Structures are given as structure tokens and as C-alpha cells.
Structure 1
Amino acid sequence: MKMKSTRFLDKKIYFQISRILIGFASLYSDLRIAWSIHPSILLYLIVLSTIALAFQIFAEHVGKYFPAYRQIALFSGLYLAFLTYHISTLIVTDLVGIFLSYDLSRLGLLVSIAITIYGRVHAHSIKTVSYTYKTNKLPAAHQYTIVQLSDLHIGEIIDHAYIHHVVCQTNALHPDLIVITGDVFNRTNIRKPKDIDRIFAELAQLQACDGVFAICGNHDPSIDSPLWQDFLKRSNIIDLNNQSFISKEINLIGRTRLVSNPTRIHLKGMMQSCDRSKPIVILDHDPSGIVEAQVQHADLILCGHTHKGQFFPCTFFTRYWYGKDYYHGKHIQNGTCSIVSAGTGYFEIPVRIGTDNEIVKIQLQGIQ
């Protein structure tokens, strides 16, 4: 099955059009709220919505954290979630209101606020998802446990308390191997959260017999950046970007960045050093790399990146862009098993609606 192309997502025109549409949607939302409550609040609403949207545009260019940065980031993300649901509910309530000859805009406002609050609360929970992969490359009845973390997005919102929860839940699974499939950090520009020392200390508590390995995602700083190197050193995590690791049970290969990156190394060359008598496990942040893994007959490939859309209605768009077999979950084709995580953390808009933060447990089982 050929995956749908997502190259158009990288075009500047797409983001420019999106910003314009979001700006108009924000203004319309402000007008409807003021109309429902009182016209005098319109100016305040416009100021707040402008701050929220401006943060999303310029945050990538901020070189360091400033007072109230986390609060503004949280407000900005929640505002975008609210805006999504407010516009959606207004469409529904206005249509229903036409038939009832009654203004339901206040109801739409309350529903939007309620959905946003639910999404924020749900974003604090983490679900453990388990998959089984059976292979004749392991001794009969032998089991090997891999725990996959992905898309932690450490930064302005994901803090040490959340990471502590992740670490405790991961260690409780008693894994043989722990892997982090990209987007450890939330932004490519290097900024250190004020509690980064506590975060690294928490990550250093991850326990696995064969170690903890990580690869970069598209939101991470460069491999040679001080922040990435500090993360590896202080968290006792092994860098697997464009590298391989062979244990007694498996071959582990790490890919770097997205498939669209022209400097990306071909998987065929990376697999030449593998012991073909053992399962070949690929770590690739981008699920677009699954097709190449299938062509090269890898046994298992673990990916992230999609967040399963993170919140409705982005769930539908993500499913369309990547295809139902590649946007989330387990899929087997051409003898290659692929697992795409919905992410252990969340990006930018701090809600989970219709999806879960998840820690993925993969049980490799030997068969005769």
C-alpha cells in the first residue's frame, strides 16, 4: 500500500493561507462571544486572541524563556483548541437555531469551553498500549519486551511532573529495552526550560536491561547541539541517530529526521551490518519510512510523529494524510510489522480529544 504524499504540508503558501483563515475565524469568534454576552468586552477579546495567535507565529523565533512564557504558551494552545470547537459548535447551533427560531450561540460557547476543559484534563492521563509480535528469529517461548516512548515534546508545557509520571509507568512494565522515537523536545530552536535539570534527572531513572535509546524528530535540535548532547549525557540515554545496536536478541537501527530530508541515509546500507538471524527493529520518527522498511524486509519498525491527530477533527485529517494503516497502531505488510505511536506527550495545543497519550509495550515472542 502506497502512502499518501504529505509534501504539500511543507509549502509556505499552506501556512500563510492557514494563518489568514485562523485570523478571520478568531475575529468572528470574538464578535459572536461579544454579541452573546456584551459588546463592551469585544476589545478585550481581540487583545487576548491576538496575543494567543501571535505566540504561535513568533514562538519559534524566541531565543530564551521569559517570565510568564509557560502561562502564555498554555493559554495560546488552549485558545486554539477552544477556537476550533467554538467555530464548529457555532455552525451547528446556528443551523439548529434557524429551525427553532432561537439564538443558541451561548450554548455553543458553553459547549466549546466544556470540550476544551475536558481535553486539557484528559491530556494529563497516559495509557499503556500493548502489542505482540511473533517471530521465528527468537527461541521458542522466549519473550523480549520493548517499551516505546515517542513525542514527549519537553518544553514550555510538558514539565518534570509529567515526565516523572511517564518514567514510573514505563519502569513498571519491566522492559528489556526502552526506545524514544523522536521529538524529545518541543521546538528546534534551543531553549532550556527552567526545570530541565529535574527533567533530565527523571529520565535518568528509566530502567531497561539493554539500555535506553533515542533518535531525533523534526522538533528536536540538531544532533550536535548542546541541548541534545546534554540530554543524552545527563539522562543516560544512548544516541541511535543513523547508528545500529546489536544485542543478544535483536538488531536495533535508528533513523534520523523525516523522509523528505535529502541527507537521510538509505536503510539498505544501514542494514548491511545486521545479524539476519535476529529480528531487525527500526526506529524511525516518520511513518513515511515504513514503506522503505517493508522493501528492505525489516522485521519491525517503530514510529511516532502523527500523534494520531491528537484532537478531533485533526484525527480525520491525519488519517487521510497517512492512510488508515500508517497513522496509528499495528500493521503488517510484506512480512514487516509497523507500529505507530500516538505519542507519549502532546504538541503545542495541550489537549487530547478522541486520542490518548500512550506508552507502547511491544512483546516480541519466539515461535518455532
Structure 2
Amino acid sequence: MWAFILGGLFLGTVLGILYLAGRFAKFSWVRKTVGERKVFRFLTGLVLVIVIAGITGKAMGAINAEICILHLLVIWLICDGISKLVEKKRKKSFTRYYAGIAAILITIVYLTCGWYLAHHVWRTEYVLETEKQVGSLRIVQFADSHVGNTFSGEEFLELVKDMQAEDPDIVVVTGDYVDDDTTREDMVAACAALGTLETAYGVYYAFGNHDKGYYGAEYRGYSGMDLIAELEKNNVIVLQDEVVLLGEDFYLIGRQDRSEDMMGRPRASMEELTADLDPARYSIVLDHQPHDFDAQEEAGVDLVLCGHTHGGQLFPFHRMGQWTGTDDKSYGLETRGSTSFIVTSGISDWAIQFKTGCKSEYVVVDVQGAAR
């Protein structure tokens, strides 16, 4: 899947560079600089596009350079199409290449907004009512911090302060806290930030597919066990197919990530995890990937909190996981029977530094039950 996506990005980028080289060659200032010979104009345009891609890649990484080139390509194609329709309507060609100017300006504005949506973290609130006599519970959830991409471990402390200001009863981390590009220093600083939280029931953590690392401890300088040790050092409780009771009324079920199944390390099923639970209590599941909704509904749990999708990341592909069946939901709240599912877009991103189909967020969930 990822090989197909990355291969498509690379091919699209190469074709985009060639197309854009020809578009840049149409500007009058290029003609004045290198003359009317098409080959010189094309080569000049090619150099310009490669320089733009190189500067972007140096500043934000190769994948973000590809994202910028592809957005410029698509927007330029649209502007060229609109320009031709207008010229046909007015029966006269434009004396200047307005389509190219518009394409560049629109792309800059669009991706600047996308950068801001990825790097600024909003607050999203849900209020869930239940007939169970459990009183109330305020949950702060975040996922997909990928520490080190859009903020450092030390900068993460400012987001933790925002979460603390919500006066949560519990804070839950639903996976991809770090990834293979998170340095040990950033990981340690981020864990220390979590250690500053003060809540009624504590801070709980469930693994995502990136947390344990795909390339081994040598690549980033620490293992999954090192991460657990640092979390626990800061009073964060790591749940791996485990159930804990919060007070007298709430179960918290932390699942191993779905990637464990895919790597031949089977995780417990929802049936196994809920077999001995009292249905009168309110049950909350932490499950990084939103891909087990049927089993979770059948198990009768009350709330499932997920991440992983990054809200779909980029428009118009922001619901691709849902459309292809890779994910049961890409973003937001859904209710099936008596089970509520919340998928957050996360507070950061993996590698890509733009969000054009959603925004970064942490989630506040107010569970409101009947009085005991």
C-alpha cells in the first residue's frame, strides 16, 4: 500500500516537474531572458522548478517537496483550463500569462493555510450522554504527536499545559506518540511533559503502529521498551491488551495496535478483553487504528477512541482510508448501536507538514451519565 502511494507520489512529481517547466517557459520574462527558442525556455523553466523543489526539500524534506510540486501542478492545470475557457468566451487571448501568476499565488496561499492547519492545534469537544448511572467523566485524548515533526519535545510542554487547563479527569494517548524520526532527546522531553499532568485518574497510553519503531533501536537510539520505561518514569500507565477500573464506574481498555496482528504477534480480541466486564459500568477503549468497529459494537463497549488517520490529511483524499475499507472511519464521531466511536486527526503529522483536509487537534470528551 505504502509502496504504491510513495511510487505514485514520485511519478506524479516527475511528471509535474516536466509540465511545470513548460508552464514557467511561457512567462514573458523568461522569453526576454533566454530568447524565443523553445528548448532554452523549457530548460530555464526546468531549472526553476528543480530549484523550487530543492529549496522546499531542503527546508521540509523530500515528501513535502513532492506535496508542493503536486499541488502546484493540479492548481496550475485548473488555472490553465479556466483561462482557456475565458479566452474562448471573450474570443481573445490574454496578453499576459495570468493563469500562471494565479496558479503560483493560489498554491502559496493554499499551502500556507495547510501548514498552519497542521502546526496550530485546536480543541475539539464532544458531549456523550449515557443512561448508565456512572456520573460524569472528562477525558482529554490526543494521538499522532509524532514528536519532532511539527514540534519538539520541549515545545510539546505548551500543548500539555493547554490540556491541563481543561481540568481533565483522565488524559489518554491513543498511539503514534513518537516514530522512527523522533530523537531520544525529544522522546525524553515529551515524556517529561506528560509527567506534569495532574488528573483524578492519571495518564494512560496505548501503542500505535509507529511507536515501537520499524527500523530497530539502533536507528533512532531507543527501543519500545525504552519508551515504556520513560513513560512509566513519568507516571504514565501503558496498557497493552489490559483493562483497568477507574474509580467504581468506568473501565479503560487499552489495546495493542492492529500492526501487532500484521506482524504475527496476535493481540487480544474485543471478546476476550470484555468477557468479565460488568455491563453496568461504562467502558472506554483505546485503539489506535479505527479498524475493528464491528467487533467493538458487538462487544457492547460504550466508547472507542482512535487516531491513526490524521483526519485524512490532504483534500480530496481525506476520506480515502474509509472509501477503500482500510479504516472504518477517517474522522469524527460515529454512533453504532450503543457504541460511540471518535477518530481524532491528531496533534501533529508523520513526515507531511500540511493538512488541507482537516486540522490538528486534541479532543475533550465529556461523558455525562445518570446520577447514582
| TM-score with structure 1 setting the length | 0.81
Whether the 8 Å contact between 1:251 and 1:275 is mirrored in structure 2 is no
Post-superposition offset of 1:44: 6.0
Q: Any unmatched runs of 5+ in structure 2? A: 31-42, 88-92, 214-221
**Which residue number in structure 2 is paired with residue 268 of structure 1?**
271
Give the letter for the 1:131 counterpart: Y
**Which residue number in structure 2 is paired with residue 312 of structure 1?**
315
1:121 aligned to 2:113? no
**Which residue number in structure 2 is paired with residue 133 of structure 1?**
128
- Name which of 65, 81, 86 aligns with 1:95: 81
Higher alpha-carbon deviation: 112-121 or 320-329: 320-329
User: Within 1, Cα distance between the matches of 2:190 and 2:174?
Assistant: 18
Whether the 8 Å contact between 1:126 and 1:357 is mirrored in structure 2 is yes
**Which residue number in structure 2 is paired with residue 62 of structure 1?**
none
**Cα-Cα RMSD:** 2.9
- Name which of 186, 202, 225 aligns with 1:211: 202
Change (3 A) 1:124 1:52: closer
- Name which of 302, 305, 308 aligns with 1:302: 305
User: Within 2, Cα distance between the matches of 1:224 and 1:319?
Assistant: 32
Q: Count how many residue pairs are aligned between Structure 1 and Structure 2.
A: 337
Give runs of aligned pairs for residues 51-200 of structure 1, distance below 5 A.
72=58, 74-99=60-85, 100=87, 101-102=93-94, 103=97, 104-139=99-134, 142-160=135-153, 162-187=155-180, 192=183, 194-200=185-191
Whether the 8 Å contact between 1:330 and 1:337 is mirrored in structure 2 is yes
Post-superposition offset of 1:269: 0.9
Post-superposition offset of 1:344: 1.7
Post-superposition offset of 1:27: 3.9
| Percentage of matched positions with identical amino acids | 24
Post-superposition offset of 1:113: 1.5
Q: Any unmatched runs of 5+ in structure 1? A: 1-8, 54-71
Give the letter for the 1:108 counterpart: A
Per-residue displacement from partner, 1:143-202 (whole Å, max 9, x unpaired)?
Answer: 111111111111344313541232011101111111111110133xx7525444433322
Post-superposition offset of 1:21: 3.0
Per-residue displacement from partner, 1:196-235 (whole Å, max 9, x unpaired)?
Answer: 4433322221222111111111122159624422441344
Post-superposition offset of 1:253: 0.8
Find the structure with the greater CA-based Rg.
2
Change (3 A) 1:289 1:321: same
User: Within 1, Cα distance between the matches of 2:206 and 2:223?
Assistant: 12
Whether the 8 Å contact between 2:150 and 2:349 is mirrored in structure 1 is no
**Which residue number in structure 2 is paired with residue 256 of structure 1?**
256
User: Within 1, Cα distance between the matches of 2:65 and 2:322?
Assistant: 24
Higher alpha-carbon deviation: 44-53 or 301-310: 44-53
